[in-house]
Structure 1
Amino acid sequence: MQTPDKITQKTGSQTSLLEFLMALGKALISAGISVVDITSILERIACAYKVKAEVLIFPTVLLVKLGETESAPLSASNQKPGLIPLNQVSEIYKLIYQAENAEISPEDGKKRLKQILTEKHRFGSIGTIIGYTLFSIGIGMLMRFSPEQILVSGAFGVIVAFLILFGENQTKVSLLLPVIAALIVSSLFFLGMKEGFLTGTFIMLIPALAYFLPGAILTTGMFELASGEIISGASRVISGAAILLLLLFGLIVGLEIAGLPLQQLMFISPSNTSIWWIPYIGVLVFGVGMYLFMSIERRDMPWIILILYIAFMGEQVGNHFVGGFFGGFLGSLLMAVSGTLTERYDHGTPGFISILPAFWILVPGSLGFISLASLVGQNYPAAINNALLVTMTIVAISLGLLVGRVLTEPLKVEK
């Protein structure tokens, strides 16, 4: 029979563990990790401390029950706008690996997590601006833009980088950033076209606005739906669609400000470069941009570059031999498998960090922007056709993630 002291000690230990799991779960939700993975992580940690956990997670709410101790509902929305720096996410996963082996007490784990979340961006404001500029240039190279169009993409990227920094610690402003960025960039672009300084189509706006394109959100939402997380998955899909509509609104208002007649817009692909190796260099430029912009740890960078090329090559091979949908599926599948393998081999670089940048390589969000922008030119049949194309592309990428997860499940080992 347990003494009152032992019962009190056990209850206190469970309370500390519960507080640690709640704080950790909130941080992981803020990082944008799927509820499927967060649930698995929290349950493994509880098991390591010899406690059975029941976890209920929604995109902004977290509930955890350990034995007879149950948490109150916790609002788990990100307190700061935007994605948290990836150096913080990397350190959080180090803490997770320790907790999964019960190598750190819940009290120390909570203190360590608090320290991690106060760490600053590794490269500061200058690194953010340079990184996002390279990010935009890299995507322009991936889309085979001409050299002049790539430079324009980089210039617009500088403008958007300043806007991102402006809204960094202002939650209300950050909610409007997609509209503000699309409005300013599109106004400048369409005015440039009207005055004859710029040539091209609205597709040239994609690299500068790519950060706001919800490709990762939509794909994660579809992945959660396929995994049975209906509420979370549906919430992400709706959120992603809303962001696309905000971008579209900003683009339309920018067009109206410029006063450019619709008939002057050519809703076709811009004149692309014929240099075949430009996209391959673009992957590297994009990766370096992500390194600076997203504050990635130096030790994580080689794996990220590797998986960027794996996802890109997989998509290219699939597109060439079968078609676009299979290209998205194959790129996503190889991305998921290689991310898990590198996490197992390196024992430190999380799969989430290594595959996150590759979502922008697969670019499902930009396709959605293109389909919605077709509405600007009142090309309704094209808009409907493109919307279907976007949906199937996101399904293909989500299916690749799901199949990759199934294939790599037996390879997961304790850290």
Structure 2
Amino acid sequence: MSGQAGADPTAQLEERDVRDRRLLAWLGAGLLAGGMPVHEVQEDIHEAARGLGHPAPQVGCLPTAITVTLAAGRPATFEQVEGAVRLDQLADVCAVRASLRTGTLSPDEALERLTRLRAQPHRYRRLGLFSGAVLSGVGIALILAPAWSAVVFAALLAPVTGALLLLLSRAGRTMRTVSPLIAAFVVGAAAFLAAGEGWAPAPLWTLVGPIAVLLPGAAIVTGLTELSAGSMVAGTARLAHGTMQMLLFALGVGAAAALLRVPLEEVETARPAELGWWAPLLGVVLVTVAISLMESVPSRLVPWLLAVVLATYLAQWAGHTVLGTRWAGAFLGAVVASLGATLVEFLRPHLPRVVAFLPSFWLLVPGSLGLISVSRLEAAPEVAVAAFLGVTLVVVAISLGIVVGASLARPLRDVARRVGMPYLLSLLPRRRRRGGAST
């Protein structure tokens, strides 16, 4: 009897450790599914573990998996990342992380919230995803190729992307793998046919708008950011995956051009810019609304997202205009995005920094420029190589700007966590509870 009583504390301790490992693994999987770099996820899991009373955890992250142990030599828990989560779901994961750090949410309650995360319904249903894809196509066209022909083409072809997104939400791995090739081929063929009729004089620039939402620019920049932070395995894997997707897009465009026997002079065309200064600004607004619809962002948060996105675009435009180089604008835009997102978190603690940052990050659209550069290789190799090197500089500048912006914003983040998080946590009991599955 005494032996059984003496074993109870040990069993309870082991049960608690298993629960805490599972909680931290689910939390990390949710952050990774939201697109966060692995080094930031590791920092967040370390902070959450210390809030649970584990001062020396060890965390290993890849873009698709996380391993957590509470101390060296102790058992470990592995969790695979099953697909992406929306921005509203990522905001809930960040709220749970903040609660664990401050001890205002019990581990059992945190596990329950994460268990319900996956089945949290989309606010705008399929209509939101479809209309978001259309608005995104039109907005990117206004920013990247401000001409009426590109805008009309994006409005007509973006529903194809919306339908593809709906299909991919239910499709298997094979369909998701070839979807860049299919989307680029369909939209590319339509752009080249329109160019042949004189309706779209710049087909390469015109075709980007409808498929921009599918391009892997964010994955490529995140990979370089991870490499800059020393996460070599994760950064290399993400960079390779993004590059392969970009090549599939370029192959789809090339296949459409070859099938239609497009003259090379139609491929090598200058960027159209027939609309006024208002076009890119309107495009920024449309892209922000599109992201909010597709990512199920609450309407009360959209103005704050728009403020960060506009600040990012204006900084990018100022750097490009004043310094005369695209990479300088990309660097300044990334710095302002990091700082602006942190400032918004300080002013509105219920909007986590990463949720405010990601739409601005996506707006920098290095994937669009990369697709145009790679697709021009056959038409004008010397021009395409120079353009591709320019895009590479832009991507590197964005990743460097993110690192610099995060370093500058760290003191403000610390203040926001000490001052703003109690307000965030006070909102949690009033949140509407939803059903769900585990991360």
Same fold at TM > 0.5: yes
Aligned twin of 2:7:
4
| 1:21 CA drift (Å) | 0.9
Conserved 8 A contact 1:86-1:296: yes
For 1:391 and 1:266, the matched residues in 2 are separated by: 21
Alignment of 1:163-182 (within 5 A): 163-172=164-173, 173-182=175-184
Aligned twin of 2:24:
21
Match for residue 256 of structure 1 among 255, 258, 275: 258
Query: What percent of counterpart residues are identical?
Result: 26
For 2:99 and 2:163, the matched residues in 1 are separated by: 38
Deviations 1:367-404 (A, max 9, x none): 21111011131x11112211211111111111111111
Alignment partner of 1:62: what SS?
strand
Deviations 1:79-101 (A, max 9, x none): 4xxx4221111111111111111
Alignment of 1:1-400 (within 5 A): 3-51=6-54, 52-67=56-71, 69-76=74-81, 78-79=82-83, 83-172=84-173, 173-263=175-265, 265-322=266-323, 323-377=325-379, 379-400=380-401
The one-letter amino acid of 1:23's match is W
The one-letter amino acid of 2:80's match is S
Conserved 8 A contact 1:201-1:270: no
For 1:60 and 1:291, the matched residues in 2 are separated by: 25
For 1:251 and 1:17, the matched residues in 2 are separated by: 49
TM-score (norm 2): 0.89
The one-letter amino acid of 1:153's match is A
Conserved 8 A contact 2:51-2:101: yes
For 1:43 and 1:250, the matched residues in 2 are separated by: 43
Alignment partner of 2:32: what SS?
helix
Conserved 8 A contact 2:180-2:245: yes
Conserved 8 A contact 1:204-1:270: no
Q: Would you say how many aligned residue pairs link Structure 1 and Structure 2? A: 408
Conserved 8 A contact 1:44-1:100: yes
Alignment partner of 1:204: what SS?
helix
For 2:80 and 2:126, the matched residues in 1 are separated by: 29
For 1:370 and 1:266, the matched residues in 2 are separated by: 10
Q: Unmatched 5+ residue regions in structure 2?
A: 422-439
For 2:86 and 2:80, the matched residues in 1 are separated by: 21
| 1:196 CA drift (Å) | 4.4
For 2:284 and 2:272, the matched residues in 1 are separated by: 20
The one-letter amino acid of 2:61's match is I
| 1:45 CA drift (Å) | 0.7
The one-letter amino acid of 1:112's match is R
Q: Unmatched 5+ residue regions in structure 1?
A: none
For 2:392 and 2:200, the matched residues in 1 are separated by: 32
Conserved 8 A contact 1:215-1:359: no
Conserved 8 A contact 2:145-2:206: no
For 1:171 and 1:336, the matched residues in 2 are separated by: 35
The one-letter amino acid of 1:26's match is A
| 1:115 CA drift (Å) | 0.9
TM-score (norm 1): 0.94
Aligned CA distance change for structure 1 residues 329 and 196 (closer, same or farther; 3 Å): closer
| 1:207 CA drift (Å) | 1.0
| 1:125 CA drift (Å) | 1.2
Aligned CA distance change for structure 1 residues 286 and 375 (closer, same or farther; 3 Å): same
